[in-house]
Structure formats: structure tokens, C-alpha cells
Structure 1
Amino acid sequence: MELLLPILLVIAVFFIFRTLQKNKQHAALNKAAGKEFLEKNRNKEGIIETSSGLQYEILAKEEEGATPSATSKVKVHYHGTLIDGRVFDSSVERGEAIEFGLNQVIKGWTEGLQLMSKGDKFRFFIPAELAYGDGSVAIIPAGSTLIFEVELIDFD
């Protein structure tokens, strides 16, 4: 009985290590696919790339106006997909806009929404480094490049 606990701990550590290794492998594959996607995407008409690697496309632009800051609270509608087109989250599909602080979300959102004015609609192409990095979140695999269509409804 005294040996059971150490044996269980060794088994648990082994499985945790194995899971982390698989995550690293998946992240590397997803990052490579994302890099290839972004390299092709940057050459498409209308795509703008920032110095951080965030790419965006302006889908609808209202008159120039105030833009949110990195600490603003925003209200948005969004539709998020992976580069293969699979939807992982969508306030549009739920039929309800969402509010949050820009300092509470992934770096790609914080940077991208600061480029927008009320009423604008952009499509963001967010490399893994500006999203969840090597981590996986819910149904978003580790190392994923993310695509979001975002409409900025309001901010303060």
C-alpha cells in the first residue's frame, strides 16, 4: 500500500509529460500552417499588416472618429474561426453582442480594436503569438492562427 502512492505519482507525471509533448508537437504544426497562411494572406488586396504581425482587412468603415484605448471597455459582435474555416465562437450566431475590457483579451484583439472607430467592421488574422500561443483553449488547438470578423458597436 505504501508503494501505491509513489507509483501513481510516477504514472501521473508520465501522462502529464506526454500530454505536454503532444501539445508542443501540435502547436509547432499549427504555427507552421498559420505562418504559411499569413504569408499568402499578406499579399492579398486590402490586407494590412502591423509591425507585430497582426493582419487585418477593413470590411466596413464609418467616418473617422475616436478609437478605444488599451484599457477601454468595448461592445462588439464577432465571429471567430480557425484558418480551416471551423467556427469556434460567435456572438453573431448567439445573437447577442458582448462587452469586455480590452486589457482582458488576447493581444491581437487589444491591438486590432484600437484601430477601429464605432461602427467599423474589420477582419483580423491573428498569429498564435498574439492569440493563445502554445496553449489550447476550449476547442482552439495549441498554436492556432485565428480569424475574427469584428464589429465595434460602442466603447468607453
Structure 2
Amino acid sequence: MKKFLIPLMILLFMNCGSDDSVKDFTAANEEEILEYTSAQGLNAQRSDSGLYYIINEAGSGSSPAASSNVTVAYRGYFTDGTVFDESNSEGISFDLSGVIAGWTEGITYFNEGGSGILLIPSRLAYGTRGRSGIPGGAVLIFDITLISVN
């Protein structure tokens, strides 16, 4: 019995570690964003990183850098319309260097007073693991208004 137990325990412990196979959502996210923008009649720009953005109002104030502190009013939702987060109309202030990559890049396309939409693939958001209320691999959409560059 002992000679079978040790190999079995080794096999079990080998399989208890982290999953080294990480699903790549790049193609699925791209397709989901393109289907969403088409269905909604949106004309989005695609950056080199894969972030899609729509500038509804460019704004006329200062433009933030990726390291700026900004105040932004937003509503975050999935492509099915389910809202997962939302600020009040006064917005929230934060450093762009401390948020998801899609925001760090996307907010810099707007000037103060500007508004629009960010369509963020999972690799620029919470990746394959997700976070509370956001499943891994999820495309995130944000309606944003850049209130100020602080």
C-alpha cells in the first residue's frame, strides 16, 4: 500500500498548484467589441494596444498624462448592458498610474470637459482572473467624462 501512496500523493500535489495554462481572450474580446460597436452603431477608434475609444466631446481644457491625477465621472458596464460600477456626477479622483491599463491609456485621449466611451479588452483590464463582480476575460465598457486634471 505504501509504495502506491507516495506516487499518488506526488501526483496530487503536482496538480494542486496554479494552472499554467492561461486562456487568451484577445480574439474573443476583439470580436465581442466589434459586434457591440456594430450593433450599437458606434464608430470607435482602435489604438495599437487594442483599446477602443470614442470621443463624443473632446473637451477644451488640459490633457492628462499617464501619470496625472484626474477626476472622472463614469459608468462601467459589460457588453450586455449590466452595470458593474458607477460614480456620482461629481466623479472620483485618482492617479492614472494606479488604475487598469485601459484607463491609464484611454483617459489621456480626452481633455478636461471631454466625454466618450472606452471599450477595454480584458488584457487591459482584469485579465483572465477578473475581480469581484467582474469575470475573467470580460470586456469592460466605460462611459466617461473627464471633469478635471488635478
TM-score by length of 2: 0.77
- Aligned partner of 1:35 among 30, 37, 43: 30
CA distance in 2, matches of 1:62, 1:96: 17
Unaligned runs of 5+ in 1: 1-6
Unaligned runs of 5+ in 2: 1-8
Say whether 1:76 aligns with 2:72. yes
Counterpart of 1:4?
none
Contact residue 55 and residue 110 of structure 2 kept, 8 A:
no
CA RMSD in angstroms, aligned pairs only: 2.6
Describe how 1:117-156 pairs up with structure 2 within 5 A.
117-156=111-150
| Residue 144 (structure 1) shift | 0.8
Describe how 1:50-129 pairs up with structure 2 within 5 A.
50-63=47-60, 65-92=61-88, 95-129=89-123
The 1:105–1:85 alpha-carbon spacing in structure 2 relative to 1, beyond 3 Å, is same
| Residue 31 (structure 1) shift | 5.7
Say which structure is richer in helix. 1
CA distance in 2, matches of 1:143, 1:69: 27
Deviation beyond 6 Å, 4+ runs, structure 1:
none
Total equivalences in the alignment: 137
DSSP-derived class of the 2:109 partner: coil
| Residue 110 (structure 1) shift | 0.5
| Bigger Cα Rg | 2
The 1:113–1:145 alpha-carbon spacing in structure 2 relative to 1, beyond 3 Å, is same
Contact residue 59 and residue 110 of structure 2 kept, 8 A:
no
**Amino acid paired to 1:147:** I
**Amino acid paired to 1:76:** V
TM-score by length of 1: 0.74
CA distance in 1, matches of 2:105, 2:66: 7
The sequence identity of aligned pairs, in percent, is 35
